[in-house]
Amino acid sequence: MEVKGLAFVCIYAPSGDQNKSYRDSFLRQTIPAYDKAPAIILGDFNAVDEIDDRKSSNTTPPKLRLALLEPLRDLVKALSLTDVWREIRKNEPCWTYNCAASQARLDRIYCHHHVKFSDIHLHDLPLGDHRPIVEYKQHHPS
């Protein structure tokens, strides 16, 4: 979707271990093929790009945990994207997905470096296991 020169790409990446290779391909090949600059890419990535973005009782070995970060990191680097949450909130935790055994920041908003936002926060909903992210774009009158 394009709005006043901005291309919005809303995604849902496949979840689960059984879809790992498909998700990796989706992040590394499919999304970049549809990207137009300047872009805002947002949605449920079902992946993290920093170890601190996931807390789990599962004891995955560190080497494997690092390998799981690579597809999303590759996407961010290839498209020169900025993580809006980290840009505004720095190291503040952002658990968008919660279940009994883990918490993670799976839902994300990325943009090209020249697209600026004034604020971002999580919104609590009584239903579901994901929390929506609300962002505020800075308005620059023409």
How is the chain split into domains, by residue range? 2-137
- The domain defined by 2-137 folds into Deoxyribonuclease I; Chain A (3.60.10)
More confident residue, 108 or 39: 108
pLDDT band at 123 (very low <50, low <70, confident <90, very high): confident
pLDDT score at 86: 92
The per-residue pLDDT of the chain, averaged, comes to 80
pLDDT score at 108: 92
Instruction: State yes or no: pLDDT of 13 exceeds 70.
Output: yes
pLDDT score at 140: 54
Global pTM? Answer: 0.79
Instruction: State yes or no: pLDDT of 82 exceeds 90.
Output: yes
Q: Sign (positive/negative) of CA torsion 127, 93, 88, 119?
A: positive
What does the alpha-carbon distance between residue 84 and residue 40 come to, in Å, rounded to a whole number?
A: 10
pLDDT score at 118: 84
Determine phi and psi for 131, rounding to 5 degrees: -110, 130
pLDDT score at 100: 77
What does the alpha-carbon distance between residue 84 and residue 42 come to, in Å, rounded to a whole number?
A: 10
Spell out the residues 6+ positions from residue 133 whose beta carbon is closer than 8 angstroms to its own. 42, 85, 94, 96, 107, 108, 109, 120, 121, 122, 123
